[in-house]
Amino acid sequence: MKLLVTGGAGFIGSAVVRLAIARGHRVTNLDALTYAACLDNVASVANDPLYSFVQADIRDRTALDRVFADHAPDAVMHLAAESHVDRSIDGPSDFIETNITGTFHMLEAARSYWMAADKPESFRFHHISTDEVFGTLGETGQFTEDTPYAPNSPYSASKAASDHLVRAWSETYGLPVVLSNCSNNYGPFHFPEKLIPVVILNALAGKPIPIYGKGENVRDWLYVEDHADALLTVLEKGALGRSYNIGGENEVRNIDLVHMICAHLDAMRPAASPYADLITYVTDRPGHDARYAIDPERISSELGWRPSVTLEQGLEKTVRWYLDNEDWWRALQSRDGVGDRLGKTA
C-alpha cells in the first residue's frame, strides 16, 4: 500500500512509519517538524527506497493538495497533532489550530483527491485519536466505543472535535474513514517532556521525580510498537466508518508506575540509594482526569488484535532503550519548555 502518514517524525507516527516500511508499504511522512518532532526517530528508514519525507503543515491546504497529487496515497494515517496536555493548558490556540483546523484541511484535501480519483472504495482515511476524549472514569468501568464524549482538557477537547469532523465527513460526504482511540503510549523515542521519560531522565540525573497530586491517577499503558501494529491492523481490516478502542489492559496508578520504573533502574544502573527516594509530590494538573481504562473487546474480537508485551516487559525494554540512547534524549532536552513544569495555571 502507499501510505501518507502525518506526524511521522513524532513519537507514535515514527513507530508507524518504521513498522509500515518493515512490512513493505511505501510511506510518505508529512510533518511540520514542530518542537515535538525528531527526524532521528526515522533515521533507520531514511534511506529506504520505500520512504519519503515532506516537510509541510497540515494547516496549509495548498501544500496538502500538492502532497496528495505528488504521492497518490492509497490511505492516510493522520497522527499529526499537538499532543501534550500541559502545553494545551498554557497555550490552547495551537491545539485548536492544528488538531481541529488542521484535521479539517486534511479531510478536505483527502476528499478532493478521492473525488478526483472517482471515489475508490478501497481508499481509507484513518484518524488516530485518544481515549482522553471520553473524559474520566470512577473506580470501576471501562471506555467502550459507545461511551459518550466528555473531554476535560483543551487537548482532549480538540481531539474530540477532530473525531467529530472525521465522522461527519464519512456520514455527509461518504469519505471512507476508520477511527481509533488509544490509551497512553510509552516506549522508545518518547519525547522527554512526557511522564515516563521524565521519570527515567530525572532519576538518572539525581533530580526530584515529580508526581502530580497524590499519584493516584490511573492510566492504561500501551507499548508504542503494539499501538503501531494495532493501527496497521485497523487500517487493513477495520470496517468502514467504524471506530476501535485500543488499550494494553495494563491499568496502573501513576505512583505504582513510577516505582516500577525505579525498580528497573535500580537493577540496570544501581545508584548510591534507591531511585524511589527521589519521588516528590507536586501540585496537581488542573482538570486532571482520575482514571482511564479501555475495553478492547471490539478490536480483539473483530480484528483479532492484542498487545504483544505486558507493562513489565515493555517498561524494561523502555528503560534499557533510554540507557542505550543518551545522545537522542540529550539533544532534545534543550528544546523550548522541556524540563520545565508546564500547565499549572487553573
Ligand X SMILES: NC(=O)c1ccc[n+]([C@@H]2O[C@H](COP(=O)([O-])OP(=O)(O)OC[C@H]3O[C@@H](n4cnc5c(N)ncnc54)[C@H](O)[C@@H]3O)[C@@H](O)[C@H]2O)c1
- Residues involved in catalysis: 131-132, 155
83 forms part of the interface with ligand X (CB under 6 A): yes
Query: Interaction with ligand X in 100-119: which residues (CB under 6 A)?
Result: 102
289 forms part of the interface with ligand X (CB under 6 A): no
Distance CA 346, CA 343 (A): 8
59 forms part of the interface with ligand X (CB under 6 A): yes
The residue (of 277 and 340) whose beta carbon lies closer to ligand X is 340
Which of 286, 304, 247, 17 shows the shortest CA–CA distance to 130?
247
* Contact criterion met (CB below 8 Å) for 225 and 15: yes
CB of 63 to ligand X, least distance (A): 9
Distance CA 109, CA 123 (A): 13
Identified binder of ligand X from the candidate list 21, 27, 42, 80, rule CB under 6 A: 80
CB of 23 to ligand X, least distance (A): 19
Among the residue ranges 19-27, 30-38, 299-307, 324-332, the one whose residues contact ligand X (CB under 6 A): 30-38
> For the chain, how far is it from start to end, CA to CA, in angstroms?
46
Cβ count near 64 (within 10 Å): 25
311 forms part of the interface with ligand X (CB under 6 A): no
Among the residue ranges 69-77, 166-174, 184-192, 325-333, the one whose residues contact ligand X (CB under 6 A): 184-192
7 forms part of the interface with ligand X (CB under 6 A): yes
Identified binder of ligand X from the candidate list 36, 100, 234, 261, rule CB under 6 A: 36
Side by side, the strands of the sheet bearing 177-182 are 51-55, 26-31, 2-6, 75-78, 124-130, 177-182, 243-246
Residues found near ligand X in the complex (CB under 6 A): 6-7, 9-13, 31-34, 36-37, 57-59, 79-83, 98, 102, 128-130, 159, 182, 184-185, 191
